[in-house]
Amino acid sequence: MTMPDAQTATAAPPPVIHREDYRPPDWLVPDVALDFALDPAATRVTARLSVTRSGAHNRPLRLDGDGLTPLAVRIDGEPQADAWRMDGAALMIDLPGDAHVIETEVEIAPEKNSQLMGLYASGGMLCTQCEPEGFRRITFFPDRPDVLSRYVVRMEADKARFPVLLSNGDRTDGGDLDDGRHWAEWRDPFFKPTYLFALVAADLVANRDSFATRSGKEVELAIWVKPEDLAKTEHAMAALKASMAWDEKAYGREYDLGEFNIVAVADFNFGAMENKSLNIFNSRYILADPDTATDVDYDNVAGVVAHEYFHNWSGNRVTCRDWFQLSLKEGFTVFRDQSFSADQGSAAVKRIEDVRALRASQFPEDAGPLAHPIRPESYMEISNFYTATVYNKGAEVIRMLHTILGADAFRKGSDLYFDRHDGQAATCEDFVTAMEDASGVDLARFRLWYSQAGTPRVTARLEHEPAGGQARLTLEQGVPPTPGQPSKQPMPIPLRVALYGEVTGQTFGGERLVMLEDAHQEILFEGIGERPVLSINRGFSAPVTVVADRSAADLAFLSAQDDDPFARYEAMQQLMVDTLVRAVALGEGDHRPVIEAVQETLRNAALDPAFIAEAVLLPSESFIGDQMPVVDPVAIHLAREALRRDLGQELEDEWRASYAKTHANRYEYTPPAKGLRRLKTVSLGYMAASGAPDASVIAFRQFRDADNMTDRQGALGTLVNSQWAERDEALKLFYDRYRGNDLVIDKWFTTQALSTRDDSVAAVEALAGHGDFTLANPNRVRALVGAFAVNQKGFNDLSGRGYRFLADMVLAVDKLNPQTAAKLIPPLGRWRRFDEARATLMRAELARVLATPGLSKDVFEQASKSLG
């Protein structure tokens, strides 16, 4: 007998599910009829499943359940007491024939559902979230994505409380009942897995519109919100119509039903959900008006609306065979939404933003204890794998396919994939095979991107032989070890490369695509008469770290000359990072090259202000930390602030000129106006950093006089980091103005949680006791706790208070909502990157979490893996 370990002393660790154990379903459910007698306190769900045996076997029918008690089980219409049994939470039924009709009845309590998975109540409405495994909290069913069914849904509810009754597909019937109740029937003709089921019962109003598809079909569109929010749905509606048109043009994908509904809810675990024809959204990704939403919010609304709409093909028409294939739909759909957004505005700025996000969330994941390939090999709780790796690195992998194959062959591949797998539950392998078949390009080694975790590190060295006019580019790659993968094979890495003549400023023969396939590779360039400067991984053609050892002068040259906007941005970032890493190591730094490069960029009238704003911003404290062997958050903060101050002081005239130039706008939501607003607040930040005596007045004036949230929040962010007298007044004015508007009050919490002042830990602790703080709403939890955990200075306070606060919050949230609690843990898992004192404190908090009885498997998995 083995002794129980620390975890099993309280409860057995959750079982680990392995990809290689996949087995096709024993039973299929081609048709299902659901009947809901809706009530927040007690909803009766009757399910009628036509089941068919798949293959020759005599295994029972297994219907997953979670917290359900069968009140009745009927087989082919006959009540049965003995033919079924429970296996844990699942219902097992032995069936004699190959096809039967199974009926079950259960009762659930949506208003008690704090996990927000399954059927739950939010702000007086009833709605569902089923992905990945929420359907089993509604009724007994084979709750796996490879069981595809046609649904008929009948629901009834109190008409006054729930006048709107929605489900997937088209509404086919409905009417009034006795006692003030009414009913509706919805039919979805498309086969779909359980995770795409949705139902909404609510008192909402709709912004209605329509869209004519390219084949001339008229689609009724509706965005359902609370009456007071109706005026904030125009942007989402415009984005929806633009997405529908874009998918026809870019991918040849047309919408396939007569209705498309979107419902906004205030309590939601994620951003949004692509349920077939009934998307359910976190309201923060639907509602936008100039007074309450920033430009970033507007962009996010459009991006998420597009993302969920695009899932209709990449996810719904072709779905995933099992959850290990999640990146099949998510990586591809993120790539599609990124491409859509790039087409709507500045493609260069969009690429910079996407790479910034990848580096902020995915690179640390790849370098830490939770690293996993985009197609994971195992999990305890699949909800923990809706990660930046599966989504954002997954999108980079699809982008690399696009780069390697070229746009035309990629499009042939996606057409083949959709045609071949329409109506099926497919795998990542199916996707790569379709790309391979359509293009004729051998992608055998490319598949390593699906199986190997870790960010590859590419070292590049350029040598010039002036006599022979040759340049030799030596490339080396290594993929760092990650949990469970101690050694790696070299990956095929597409690198867009150009060489610039130092004197002429011209490229030698433009750009070329170099495929780095081996651990070591040399590329010879001929006809290079003058000293070349290396521009590499242009457009961020591969999700790798490049170490190119370029001088400050070369980086400054590229930041001013490169004709690839991303490479230009990247050169500036590298110059800043090199300067700051050196300053942290030596305690002082030479700021001159950065100051001159920033000055040159600011003075370049040919550049888009949105690009300038991105280019002159210093890299984040966490990204600087990622470049160092041991992160020293205090030294990084001080070095970064010193550089900010010098930039502010040395270029004071430029910042003032740029502020003046960008200041006098009336609000409009267009790419140029957005760029000006961004540059305005960046300029304000540098004016504040310079210590100019009038900066507080200018910041407060921007805050007070703003005719839009971008300017107002931008100014508030500057004020909040300061010691100025205007700071508290601005926070109070902001709160008073927006009290009761949850999405804006979230910003009030976040702005304070991100403050770089010394008192931020204490402020955040106090905010957790504020009357508006609640653990029940995931947006609010993320606004305060999630934001604070990325505040490098405050969170890593040497007292350990930041770590303790986070662990306390994880434990408190876990009791209500395990999914949201588990997402808070990763910052504590970065302990290996810190000094001994901080690492010890972080480990102690992880250990305290793990020692707590009754943990969810979500939190158990993340905390145990993080502790290592």
Residues lying near Zn ion in the complex (CB under 5 A): 330, 333
Shortest Å distance, C-beta 495 to ligand B3K: 29
Cα dihedral value 291, 293, 299, 305, nearest 10: -110
Q: Which two tokens stand for residue 456?
A: 């590859």
Task: Decide if residue 386 touches ligand B3K (CB under 6 A).
Answer: yes
Task: Decide if residue 383 touches ligand B3K (CB under 6 A).
Answer: yes
Task: Decide if residue 337 touches ligand B3K (CB under 6 A).
Answer: no
Number of residues that bind ligand B3K (CB under 6 A): 13
Distance of alpha carbon 841 from alpha carbon 836, whole angstroms:
9
Q: Which is nearer to ligand B3K, 308 or 366 (CB)?
A: 308
Q: Which is nearer to ligand B3K, 84 or 270 (CB)?
A: 270
Shortest Å distance, C-beta 307 to Zn ion: 5
Q: Which is nearer to Zn ion, 264 or 320 (CB)?
A: 320
Using the contact rule CB under 6 A, the part of the chain among 90-98, 303-311, 495-503, 511-519 near ligand B3K is: 303-311
Using the contact rule CB under 6 A, the part of the chain among 243-251, 266-274, 760-768, 820-828 near ligand B3K is: 266-274
Q: 812-831: which residues touch ligand B3K (CB under 6 A)?
A: 819
Shortest Å distance, C-beta 134 to ligand B3K: 8
Shortest Å distance, C-beta 476 to ligand B3K: 36
Shortest Å distance, C-beta 207 to Zn ion: 23
Q: Which is nearer to ligand B3K, 246 or 803 (CB)?
A: 246
Which amino acid is it at 418?
A: F
The string of DSSP codes covering 52-87 is EE-SS--PPEEEB-SS---SEEEETTEE-SSSEEEE
Q: Which is nearer to Zn ion, 644 or 782 (CB)?
A: 782
Of the candidate residues 167, 207, 269, 545, the single one contacting ligand B3K (CB under 6 A): 269
Shortest Å distance, C-beta 367 to ligand B3K: 24
Q: Which is nearer to Zn ion, 330 or 814 (CB)?
A: 330
Distance of alpha carbon 321 from alpha carbon 371, whole angstroms:
23
Q: Which of 334, 296, 301, 398 is nearest to 614 (CA)?
A: 296
Using the contact rule CB under 6 A, the part of the chain among 149-157, 206-214, 305-313, 418-426 near ligand B3K is: 305-313
Using the contact rule CB under 6 A, the part of the chain among 71-79, 106-114, 270-278, 492-500 near ligand B3K is: 270-278
Cα dihedral value 767, 772, 773, 775, nearest 10: 170
Q: Which is nearer to Zn ion, 333 or 387 (CB)?
A: 333
Shortest Å distance, C-beta 88 to ligand B3K: 22
Using the contact rule CB under 6 A, the part of the chain among 63-71, 265-273, 537-545, 827-835 near ligand B3K is: 265-273
Check: CB of residue 379 under 8 Å from CB of residue 385: yes
Shortest Å distance, C-beta 314 to Zn ion: 9
Q: Which is nearer to ligand B3K, 131 or 845 (CB)?
A: 131
Q: Which is nearer to ligand B3K, 304 or 548 (CB)?
A: 304
Phi, psi of 515, rounded to the nearest 5 degrees:
-95, 110
Q: Is 582 exposed, middle or buried (0-12, 13-18, 19+ CB in 10 A)?
A: middle
Task: Decide if residue 274 touches ligand B3K (CB under 6 A).
Answer: yes
Cα dihedral value 286, 288, 293, 295, nearest 10: 90
Whether omega for the bond prior to residue 110 falls within 30 degrees of 0, making it cis, is: no
Using the contact rule CB under 6 A, the part of the chain among 306-314, 552-560, 639-647, 809-817 near ligand B3K is: 306-314
Which amino acid is it at 803?
A: Y
Q: Which is nearer to ligand B3K, 354 or 564 (CB)?
A: 354
Binds 564: which of Zn ion, ligand B3K, none (CB < 5-8 Å by kind): none
Angle at 357 between CA 517 and CA 637, to 5 degrees: 110
Binds 269: which of Zn ion, ligand B3K, none (CB < 5-8 Å by kind): ligand B3K
Of the candidate residues 235, 241, 253, 307, the single one contacting ligand B3K (CB under 6 A): 307
Task: Decide if residue 273 touches ligand B3K (CB under 6 A).
Answer: yes
Which amino acid is it at 771?
A: G
Which amino acid is it at 124?
A: G
Shortest Å distance, C-beta 382 to ligand B3K: 8
Distance of alpha carbon 198 from alpha carbon 500, whole angstroms:
55
Q: 406-435: which residues touch ligand B3K (CB under 6 A)?
A: none
Shortest Å distance, C-beta 87 to ligand B3K: 25
Task: Decide if residue 270 touches ligand B3K (CB under 6 A).
Answer: yes
Q: Which is nearer to Zn ion, 330 or 554 (CB)?
A: 330
133 SS3 class? coil
Contacts of 146 (CB under 8 A, 6+ apart): 24, 25, 193, 321, 322, 425
Q: Which of 389, 498, 402, 536 is nearest to 452 (CA)?
A: 389
Q: 628-647: which residues touch ligand B3K (CB under 6 A)?
A: none
Angle at which helices 709-720 and 726-738 pack, to 10 degrees? Answer: 140
Check: CB of residue 577 under 8 Å from CB of residue 619: yes
Task: Decide if residue 308 touches ligand B3K (CB under 6 A).
Answer: yes
Cα dihedral value 680, 685, 691, 695, nearest 10: 50
Q: Which is nearer to ligand B3K, 327 or 579 (CB)?
A: 327
Binds 677: which of Zn ion, ligand B3K, none (CB < 5-8 Å by kind): none
Q: Which is nearer to ligand B3K, 336 or 412 (CB)?
A: 336
Binds 637: which of Zn ion, ligand B3K, none (CB < 5-8 Å by kind): none
Q: 120-149: which residues touch ligand B3K (CB under 6 A)?
A: 131
> Which residue has 């990124």 as its token pair?
338
Shortest Å distance, C-beta 55 to ligand B3K: 30
C-alpha 807: how far from chain center: 23
Using the contact rule CB under 6 A, the part of the chain among 271-279, 361-369, 439-447, 517-525 near ligand B3K is: 271-279
Shortest Å distance, C-beta 644 to Zn ion: 36
Angle at 866 between CA 862 and CA 868, to 5 degrees: 125
Q: 700-739: which residues touch ligand B3K (CB under 6 A)?
A: none
Distance of alpha carbon 68 from alpha carbon 80, whole angstroms:
17
Binds 273: which of Zn ion, ligand B3K, none (CB < 5-8 Å by kind): ligand B3K
Phi, psi of 316, rounded to the nearest 5 degrees:
-95, -60
737 SS3 class? helix
The residues carrying an active-site annotation are 308
Check: CB of residue 35 under 8 Å from CB of residue 46: yes
DSSP state of 318: B
Of the candidate residues 156, 185, 322, 330, the single one contacting ligand B3K (CB under 6 A): 330
Look at the alpha carbons of 108, 114, 118, 124 in this order and tell me if their dihedral is positive or negative. Answer: positive
What is the biggest distance separating any 2 CA atoms in the chain, rounded to whole angstroms? 95
Q: 801-806 long-range contacts, Cβ below 8 Å, gap at least 24?
A: 801/761, 801/762, 801/765, 802/761, 802/764, 803/828, 803/841, 803/842, 803/844, 803/845, 804/845, 805/761, 805/764, 805/765, 805/768, 806/845
Shortest Å distance, C-beta 395 to ligand B3K: 11
Task: Decide if residue 614 touches ligand B3K (CB under 6 A).
Answer: no
Check: CB of residue 463 under 8 Å from CB of residue 475: no
Site mask for ligand B3K (CB under 6 A), range 758-797, x = bound? ----------------------------------------
Binds 401: which of ligand B3K, Zn ion, none (CB < 5-8 Å by kind): none
Q: Which two tokens stand for residue 439?
A: 């293009």
Chain positions contacting ligand B3K, by CB under 6 A: 131, 269-270, 272-274, 307-308, 311, 330, 383, 386, 819
